[in-house]
Structure 1
Amino acid sequence: MPTIGTFTKAGDIFTGTILTLTLNVTVNIVPADRVSDQSPDYRIHWGCVDCGAAWKRTNDAGQAFLSVKLDDPAFPHPIYASLFADDDENRFNLVWSRPKGR
């Protein structure tokens, strides 16, 4: 699974660049106002454009991460990825994954 982004964290806000063959954008992942248990924990903004959401998760090894969904009308399908902490506490890697069946 390739890394498509690198982020740093300041307080509760993640800032970083997503770089793919079709994207080269700087985004902010900011805490969201949750209205239900299914609501995202974070919203993803590219400038003033809301381009995705993220949910807090924990993997089988007990490692916390964010499950990320990026979407835009120009995309044929949403992009799914996971934001994991790097060895440095303030650095994070956005790792892309393709859902099964696509």
Structure 2
Amino acid sequence: MIIAQLKKDENGNLRGQLVTLTMNAPLVFRPNERGAAFSVFIEGAAPSEVGAAWLKKSDDKTFYSVRLDDPAFPHPLSCALFESTHENETFNLVFTRPKRQGDESEGND
């Protein structure tokens, strides 16, 4: 499921809104020169770093592996960030719940 749609700004940051059933917060991916490609922040009165994104390639497609963590989360979230094929300078942050061991059926989360 897409939990954020981000647009690239004039400084190369990716900005959007993280939206889930329990969270609605402004999100920004800021480019890094070393290490992860982006540091991820929840913006607001007191911006808070909540994760990082690393550039990956799979089947000749480029994407970012994203890890988000915050004390409000029961556990860290692993997501993927893909550039939109429909809109320039737009990216989709996608979360897919990992299957539980032994759970082969869909929709039992």
Displacement, 1:33? 4.3
Structure 1 stretches of 4+ moved >3 Å? 99-102
Distance 2:17 2:74 in 1: 21
Displacement, 1:4? 0.8
Rg comparison, structure with higher value: 2
Match of 2:98 in 1: 99
Displacement, 1:18? 0.9
Which has the larger strand fraction? 1
**What TM-score does the superposition give when structure 1 sets the normalisation length?**
0.83
RMSD between superposed Cα atoms in Å: 1.6
Identical-residue share of aligned pairs (%): 36
Higher RCO (CA-CA < 8 Å; seq separation 6+): 1
1:9 aligns with 2:8: yes
Distance 1:12 1:100 in 2: 34
Displacement, 1:85? 1.1
- Secondary structure of the residue aligned to 2:64 is strand
Displacement, 1:68? 0.8
Displacement, 1:59? 1.8
Would you say the 8 A contact 1:82–1:96 is kept in 2? yes
Match of 1:88 in 2: 87
- In the alignment, structure 2 segments of 5+ residues that lack a partner are 102-109
How many pairs were matched up?
A: 96
**What TM-score does the superposition give when structure 2 sets the normalisation length?**
0.79
